[in-house]
Amino acid sequence: MESDNLIRYKNITFIVTKDCQLACKYCYLVGKNSKERMSFEIAKQAIDYLLDEKRNFREAGVVWDFIGGEPFLEIDLIRQICNYIKFELYRRNHKWFNNYRFNFSTNGLNYHESKIQKFIEENLSHLSIGITIDGTKRKHDLNRIHRNGKGSYDDVVKNIPLWQKQFPNEGTKVTISSDDIPYIKESVLHLYDLGIHAVHINCVFEDVWKEGDDKLFEKQLVELADEIIDNDLYKHFECSFYSEEIGKPLTDNGNWCGAGMMIAVDAAGNFYPCTRFAAYSLRSKRPIIIGNVKDGIDKNKLRPFLTLNRTAQSPQKCIDCEVASGCAWCQGENYDAADTNTIYQRSTAICKMHKARVRANNYYWNKLYRKLELEGTRDEFEKNRYKVKPFIC
Amino acid sequence: MLQYLNILLDDSAVSFCHYEAEKKQRLMSIDMLKAGIRFAMMENLMIQFVFPDSPLPKEYYSVIDSIDHFNIKRNSEDSDVCVVENWDFSKANANVPIVVRTTKEVFFQKHQLLNGIIAQAKRINIIITNVNTFNNDDFKEYKGILDALREQVERVYIDRKSPQLNLLTDRMMLKEMNNCGAGDTNITLAPNGKFYVCPAFYYEDKGDSIGDLEQGLEIRNKQLYKLECAPICRHCDAFQCKRCIWLNRKATLEVNTPSHEQCVLAHLERNASRDLLHNIRKLGSLLSEQEDINELDYLDPFDKRDEWQ
C-alpha cells in the first residue's frame, strides 16, 4: 500500500520548525531546537521550484506534508504556505490542482486553538491530520513527556473527541520501544475505547531491543489478538500489527522505503530525500542534501535512492529469510547505523521483533478464520472488512 | 578478490587516473616499503609501484626489485605504464601502455594529436579528469570526436595493425565488465602506511583509510565495491566503463552508483565501439569471433530502470 501511494502521489515535506513542546524519549530527532524556523520566502522558493519542475514530477497528485518538531507551532506560516500553494496551483493550471492534500502529524497539544481550527475549517476537504497518542496514560506518559518531565497524555486526550469528530477515519500512529512492550495490549484497546478505529503501530527501527523483548512482544500481541477476536473488535477496528501480507518469503526485489521518491525541505532551503536525512534527525552521520531552493535538485544525488533495491542492501540472512514480507526498514536509520556513509547497508536491529510479530500474526489469523468458519461468517467478514485509510509515512 | 596493490612511493607520486596527486613530497619510509612488499607477498598481490618525478634514494631500488612488479611513471623509458601530462608525447615510451590525463576542454582541443601515435603506441588510455562537468553540448562534441577517432582507428586496421585506444577498442574485446576495481581487485598503500580504496581516496581524505600495515585490512561494506551490489552497473553492457568508484562517491555519495555523466560517456564510447566493430568486420575476417554489440535506445541505464528493477 505504501509503495502504491508513493507512485501515485508525490510527498513533499516542509520542515517548518525544529522546535517541539515535548521531549519524547524515543524521538529520533536528535537536533531539535527553537532557532531553525522556516521563513515564508524559503517556502515560496521551494514551491516555485517544485511547481516549475512539473516535467520531472510525473505523479498525478501531491501530498504536502508539514512536519517539525511540532508543525502547528508555526500555524501562521503554514496557513500562508498553503494559501500560496492553492493560489499557484490555480494560477498555473497545474495538474495537481484539486489533486492535493495537506498532511500533518501532530502531538495534538494545541489542536483546539482557534488559529488551528480556522485553518482546519478552511482546508477540511484537502486535509489529513494524525494526532499521536501512544495508548493508556501510563504508556503514553512513559515516553511522550514535556521538557519538565511531565507526561502529556492529559493535554492530548482532551483534544481527541474534537479531532475524531473532524477526522473520523484518521488513525493514530503508535511507536513501540523496549520499555513500552508491557503496555501494548492495554494501549491498543484504550485507543479503540477512545473511538480511534485505526491504530498504526510499529517498533522503532533503532537498535534499542533488549534480551527477551521479542518474547514479551509476542506475548502482548497474542493477548491482544485474543481480546480483539473474542470481543469481535476486528469488525470495526484495525491494528496494523496484524496483516495477512506479512511473514512470507519475498519474491520481489523492491525497496521498502520511499526515501528519494519524496522530497523534504528545511528552513535553510536545503532539499533532502526524506526528513530523516536532515542533520537534526541523524545521530552520527552527515546530512544527505540533494539540492536547494536556489540551484534545484542534483539528480545525481537521487540516483542511489531511486535504484536501491532489497537485495543490494540486505545481508544474505534477509535475502534468504522465509518470513521476510512486512519486515520494514527506514533508509535514514540504515544510513545512520551503517558502518560507512552508505544507504546500502540495511540495519537488522528489528529482526527478532519482526519474527515475534510474524508468530503472533499467524496466531491471529488462524484463530480469527477458525472462529469465522465455525460461525459461518467468513464471507460476511470479507465483504464488510474494515478498511483503514492507508498511512503515509 | 584482491589481486593488485598500488604502492604510492611518495605523496607526489604521479597520478595515473582521475584524481590529482599532491605537489608536496613525502617519501614512504623504507621500512614501510618493505612491510608493504611483505604484505603483498603474504596476500599474493601483484604490486604496482607509483613513482614520483624525483629520483628515489638508491637503497629503495633494490628493495623494489626484490619482488615482481609493475612501475607506473611519468614520461620514462623504464616504466611499465607511462603517464603523459599536457599531451607531450615526446618522452613517452611507445612500447608500454600510455596514460593520457586530460581535462575535457584540452581533449576537445588536442584529440587530433592522437592520430599520429595510435598506430605506434602499444596502447593509449585516455583519462578525462573532469567527467562530472560534462553537459549536453559536451556530450555532442565528445561523440563527434569519438567518430573522428574511430575513422582513424579504422585506417590503422586497414594497415593490418591492431591499435588499442581504450575509448574505442576495449569494448570490442570485452565479454564482461572490466572496470577500475578499486576496493575489489585492487587497493592502495599510501606513504603514511595506511591502505586506501584507491589513491584518490587518500588524497581526498587521509582519514578515510581501510586499514594499515600493522592491523591489516578492514574494508567495511566491501560488497559495495563489487558489480553485484551496483544496481545500475550490473545491468549495463558498457563493459569498458571505468566505473570510477571515487567519481561515483563524489557525484552520488555512493561508491556503487555512477553519475549520469559517467554513464553517458561510457555509452557514447560503447556506441562508437559498436560502429568500429561493424566497420572493421567489413574489412574481412577481422574480429569475427567477437560478440555483437547491440543497438541501444538510451545513453544512461538509469533512464531504463523501470525495465530492470
Using CB atoms, pick whichever of A253, A312, A338 lies closest to residue B229.
Answer: A312
pLDDT tens digit sequence for B231-284 = 999 999 999 999 999 999 999 999 999 999 999 999 999 999 999 999 999 888
**What 3-state class would DSSP assign to A132?**
coil
Using CB atoms, pick whichever of A300, A338, A339 lies closest to residue B259.
Answer: A300
For residue A339, give how far its alpha carbon lies from the nearest alpha carbon of chain B (Å).
7
Q: How far, CA to CA in Å, does B18 sit from each of B166, B269, B280? A: 15, 17, 31
Per-residue cell: A58: 510525473
Q: What is the mean pLDDT of residues B49-71?
A: 97
Put simply, the chain A residues between 212 and 271 with a CB less than 8 A from any chain B CB are 253-254
Q: How far, CA to CA in Å, does A196 sit from each of A132, A259, A304, A389? A: 11, 29, 38, 12
Terminal-to-terminal C-alpha distance of chain A = 11
For residue B239, give how far its alpha carbon lies from the nearest alpha carbon of chain A (Å).
20
Using CB atoms, pick whichever of A307, A339, A340 lies closest to residue B232.
Answer: A307
Mutate to test the interface with A, among B131, B254, B262 (most CBs of A within 10 A): B254
- Inspect the interface and report whether the beta carbons of B309 and A312 lie closer than 8 Å: no
DSSP category for residue A179: G
pLDDT at B231: 94
- Inspect the interface and report whether the beta carbons of A344 and B251 lie closer than 8 Å: no
Per-residue cell: A375: 460461525
- Inspect the interface and report whether the beta carbons of B260 and A308 lie closer than 8 Å: no
- Inspect the interface and report whether the beta carbons of B254 and A343 lie closer than 8 Å: yes
Angle of helix A213-230 relative to helix A184-193, nearest 10 degrees, comes to 30
Q: How far, CA to CA in Å, does B278 sit from each of A309, B22, B245, B273? A: 36, 43, 31, 8
By C-alpha distance, which of A149, A338, A2, A106 is closest to B221?
A338
What residues of chain A lie within 8 A of the CB of B302, using their CB? 303, 306-307
Instruction: Supply φ then ψ for residue B186, to 5 degrees.
Output: -145, 150
Looking at the complex, does the CB of residue B31 fall below 8 Å from at least one CB of chain A? no
Minimal-distance CA residue of chain A relative to B251:
A300
Per-residue cell: B172: 570490442
Indicate the pLDDT class of residue B77, thresholds 50, 70 and 90: confident
* A291 and A298 Cβ atoms separated by less than 8 Å: yes
What residues of chain B lie within 8 A of the CB of A312, using their CB? 229-231, 256
What residues of chain B lie within 8 A of the CB of A306, using their CB? 302, 305
The DSSP element (H or E) to which B110 belongs, if any, is: helix B104-110
Put simply, the chain A residues between 294 and 333 with a CB less than 8 A from any chain B CB are 299-301, 303-304, 306-309, 312
What residues of chain A lie within 8 A of the CB of B251, using their CB? 300-301
- DSSP string of A338-360, one letter each residue: SSSS-S-S---TTHHHHHHHHHH
pLDDT at A7: 52
Q: How far, CA to CA in Å, does B221 sit from each of A337, B211, B229? A: 13, 13, 10
Using CB atoms, pick whichever of B231, B252, B258 lies closest to residue A301.
Answer: B252
Q: CA B21 to CA B198: how far, in whole Å?
A: 12
A-to-B residue pairs, Cβ atoms closer than 8 angstroms:
58
Put simply, the chain A residues between 1 and 30 with a CB less than 8 A from any chain B CB are none
Q: CA A183 to CA A179: how far, in whole Å?
A: 9
Per-residue cell: A336: 545512520
Domains and CATH numbers, chain A: 1-151+256-307 (3.20.20.70), 171-255+310-393 (no CATH)
Using CB atoms, pick whichever of B254, B302, B305 lies closest to residue A344.
Answer: B254
Looking at the complex, does the CB of residue B219 fall below 8 Å from at least one CB of chain A? no
- Inspect the interface and report whether the beta carbons of A342 and B259 lie closer than 8 Å: no
Looking at the complex, does the CB of residue B236 fall below 8 Å from at least one CB of chain A? no
* ∠ Cα A215 A220 A221 (to 5°): 100
pLDDT at A54: 83
For residue A330, give how far its alpha carbon lies from the nearest alpha carbon of chain B (Å).
18
Residue spans per domain, chain B: 1-77+184-217
What residues of chain A lie within 8 A of the CB of B230, using their CB? 312
pLDDT at A386: 65
Q: What is the mean pLDDT of residues B12-21?
A: 97
Q: pTM of this prediction?
A: 0.93
- DSSP string of A34-80, one letter each residue: SS-B--HHHHHHHHHHHHHTGGG---SEEEEEEESS-GGGGHHHHHH
**What 3-state class would DSSP assign to B111?**
helix
Using CB atoms, pick whichever of A299, A303, A342 lies closest to residue B221.
Answer: A342
Looking at the complex, does the CB of residue B252 fall below 8 Å from at least one CB of chain A? yes
- Inspect the interface and report whether the beta carbons of B259 and A306 lie closer than 8 Å: no
For residue B186, give how far its alpha carbon lies from the nearest alpha carbon of chain A (Å).
19
Tens of pLDDT along chain A (393 residues) come to 334 444 578 999 999 999 999 998 878 767 677 778 999 999 999 999 999 998 888 899 999 999 988 999 999 999 999 999 999 999 999 999 989 999 999 999 999 999 999 999 999 999 999 999 999 999 999 989 999 999 999 999 999 999 999 999 899 989 899 999 999 999 999 999 999 999 999 999 999 999 999 999 999 999 999 999 999 999 999 999 999 999 999 878 888 888 999 999 999 999 999 999 999 999 999 999 999 999 999 999 999 999 999 999 999 999 999 999 999 999 999 999 999 999 999 999 999 999 999 999 999 999 999 999 999 999 999 888 766 555 444
For residue B257, give how far its alpha carbon lies from the nearest alpha carbon of chain A (Å).
6
Looking at the complex, does the CB of residue B46 fall below 8 Å from at least one CB of chain A? no
By C-alpha distance, which of A27, A110, A106, A111 is closest to A65?
A106
* ∠ Cα A43 A45 A46 (to 5°): 65
What residues of chain A lie within 8 A of the CB of B220, using their CB? 339-340
Put simply, the chain B residues between 272 and 291 with a CB less than 8 A from any chain A CB are none
For residue B301, give how far its alpha carbon lies from the nearest alpha carbon of chain A (Å).
11
* B222 and A270 Cβ atoms separated by less than 8 Å: no
In percent, the amount of chain B with pLDDT more than 70 equals 100
Looking at the complex, does the CB of residue A350 fall below 8 Å from at least one CB of chain B? no
